[in-house]
Amino acid sequence: RLELDASKISLSNTNPDLDLSKVGFFLCTRDAWVHVIQQLEEEEITCALQSDLVKHVFTFNRLNKNSSFSTVFTENDADQYSLVFANCLQQVKVTMDVRSAMYNLEGKSGGRDYLSAGRTVLPKVYFLFSVIYFSLAATWIYVLFKKRRTVFAIHFFMLGVVVLKALNLLCEAEDKSYIKKTGSGHGWDVLFYIFSFLKGITLFTLIVLIGTGWSFLKPYLQDKEKKVLMIVIPLQVVANFAQVVIDETGPYGQDWVTWKQIFLLVDVVCCCAVLFPIVWSIKNLREAAKTDGKAAVNLVKLTLFRHYYIV
């Protein structure tokens, strides 16, 4: 169901001969929108509102000199719909205040569910996984305590990554839960993005540190390894910013495709960049393994980690 309210509607051109049926709101699925664009390009129609693939919600020829309207539109065909406003009159500029709410009705109770049908179980799923990660963190703390004589700084860094992932999932569970009930995240989305940002940076930093053998092979980083971190961390900042833009604007947002491509490109570059320290360490250990049995053992472990990371 869609509830749509518009107020303070103003048209720059009030000519009574204008065809205001070419100005209005409609619902459209993503697949249908592709065909609508094709119809426009092939000049089968001159306005998206003329397509039989869209579902009309309200067109401005129904205004009758009013400066506001309120309507409720019910759709029984299950699909993922987007609300779109179309103005096909080039000589008319439209300004207005719009409030919309889209939701599903739950069973016999008729309660509102602002998540789409495929996402309605996400709050429970995310909460369950957050509990699993917190349990893993508790288990890791126990292992660190029991093996404290052989614990390195990198092991505490691993614990931090697991805790951040658990907090990230918990915030996402709360975010989706509030959206499901009220249609808004009530600030939980901000916390989700913060922990997602921290988790992303610490995860890639951890992979680089393991690849270099920091703390368990050597107590310091070489200059070239520091340079990798100086590349990976800013790239992760860009990747997280791109992810926020992608999530908040949606596929119809301005430059959405560009930000999607930036995110994929940066993610691939980060994944490739962290391989260099692993390759460098394996090369050094391979040379040392010829005379040192301990280096041979570490070489096997690091090679196994490289295979795990690539897979």
CATH 1.20.1070 assigned to domain 119-310? The reply is yes
Which of 35, 117, 132, 127 lies closest to 76, judged by CA? 117
Which of 207, 274, 280 lies closest to 235, judged by CA? 274
pLDDT tens string 47-76: 999 999 999 999 998 887 788 999 999 888
Q: Dihedrals φ, ψ of 64, to 5°?
A: 55, 50
Helices (H), 117-255: 122-146, 153-182, 188-212, 223-249
Transcribe 291-304 into DSSP letters: T-HHHHHHHHHHHH
Asked if residue 273 lies in contact with residue 228, where contact means CB atoms within 8 angstroms, the answer is: yes
Reply yes or no on whether the pLDDT at 286 is more than 60.
yes
CA-to-CA distance for 211 and 310, rounded, in angstroms? 12
pLDDT of residue 284: 67
pLDDT of residue 172: 93
pLDDT tens string 117-133: 778 899 999 999 999 99
End-to-end CA distance of the chain: 44
Asked if residue 193 lies in contact with residue 240, where contact means CB atoms within 8 angstroms, the answer is: yes
Give residues with Cβ within 8 angstroms of 56, minimum separation 6.
24, 25, 26, 49
Taken in order 156, 192, 139, 311, the sign of the CA dihedral is: negative
Residues of the chain with CATH 1.20.1070: 119-310
pLDDT of residue 17: 84
Query: Does residue 297 or residue 169 have the better pLDDT?
Result: 169
pLDDT of residue 164: 95
CA-to-CA distance for 127 and 134, rounded, in angstroms? 11
Q: Tell me the pTM.
A: 0.75
Taken in order 64, 68, 74, 77, the sign of the CA dihedral is: positive
CA-to-CA distance for 311 and 232, rounded, in angstroms? 20
pLDDT of residue 249: 75
Reply yes or no on whether the pLDDT at 79 is more than 80.
yes
CA-to-CA distance for 308 and 297, rounded, in angstroms? 17
